[in-house]
Amino acid sequence: MSIFEYNGSALVAMVGKNCFAIASDRRLGVQLQTIATDFQKIYQIHDRLFLGLSGLGTDAQTLYQRLVFRHKLYQLREERDMKPETFASLVSALLYEKRFGPYFCQPVIAGLGDEDKPFICTMDSIGAKELAKDFVVAGTASESLYGACEAMFKPDMEPEELFETVSQALLSSVDRDCLSGWGGHVYVVTPTEVKERMLKGRMD
């Protein structure tokens, strides 16, 4: 079994009209046994930047703690929040440092940049950035997520429609993956507010 399949995860981020959505499943497992159904995979770095981490749970938490440390230092030095593009470069550099002994994590970064332009990005476990204009996916359910997002995505969706699309894509994909699921956790972020919702999904 691959190391990425040890805990199981599904993450997706999608771009809408001046907004973005980032969603994850809620399962934490040890291979085929589920041990928690409320595991947090999406973290808020500052009010316009979210980070999702898929892959090995322990590496995800360690990496998140390191990134929060670096971001807090940045805030103290620069007296402002990090832009999403800068944060993505930071994550990429931190992962590439460990090129020959990597963290088993695939991050998904989503944020609102200058002029409220949504920014999404994903990386492989050694920091190769993929900047997409529509959607990014990560986790054990990523193959199904690619298919579902490719079919359901439309450009310039309003926040409510974006929420529906992301939720349907996530739920249909995790239904086809044994290692992820047990509900969903969706954040829809616009320049003025953040809406966090838990989804009802199949509990198997």
Partner 1 sequence: MSKAEIDFPPKGGFSFDLCKRNEMLIKKGVQPPSYRKTGTTIVGLIFQYCGFHSTFLEMLIGCLTKNFKEGGKTEDGVILGADTRATAGTIVCDKNCEKIHYMAPNIYCCGAGTAANTEAVTDMVSSQLQLHRYHTGCESRVITALMLLKSPLFNYQGYVQAALVLGGVDVTGPHLHTIYPHGLTDTLPFATMGSGSLAAMTVFESKYREGLTRDEGIQLVTEAICSGIFNDLGSGSNVDVCVITKGHKDYLRNHLLPNPRSYISPKGFLFPKKTGIDKFFGY
Distance CA 46, CA 43 (A): 9
Other Cβ atoms closer than 10 A to 101: 6
Tell me the closest approach of the beta carbon of residue 55 to partner 1, in angstroms.
Answer: 8
Interface residues with partner 1 (CB under 8 A)? 1-4, 6, 66, 69, 92, 95-104, 123-130, 132, 142-143, 146, 151-152, 154, 163-165, 167-168, 171, 183, 193-201
Residues in CB range of 125: below 8 A, 6 or more apart: 55, 95, 102, 103, 104, 105, 106
Contact status, residue 39 vs residue 198, Cβ threshold 8 Å: no
**CB closer to partner 1, 82 vs 136:** 136
113: left (phi over 0), alpha (psi -120 to 50) or beta: beta
Q: Token pair for residue 96?
A: 């590439």
Tell me the closest approach of the beta carbon of residue 89 to partner 1, in angstroms.
Answer: 9
127: left (phi over 0), alpha (psi -120 to 50) or beta: left
**CB closer to partner 1, 46 vs 195:** 195
Tell me the closest approach of the beta carbon of residue 4 to partner 1, in angstroms.
Answer: 6
**CB closer to partner 1, 99 vs 117:** 99
Tell me the closest approach of the beta carbon of residue 99 to partner 1, in angstroms.
Answer: 6
**CB closer to partner 1, 117 vs 202:** 202
Distance CA 104, CA 50 (A): 19
Distance CA 58, CA 89 (A): 22
Rg (the chain; Cα; Å) = 16
**CB closer to partner 1, 35 vs 194:** 194
**CB closer to partner 1, 9 vs 92:** 92
Tell me the closest approach of the beta carbon of residue 113 to partner 1, in angstroms.
Answer: 18
Tell me the closest approach of the beta carbon of residue 166 to partner 1, in angstroms.
Answer: 9
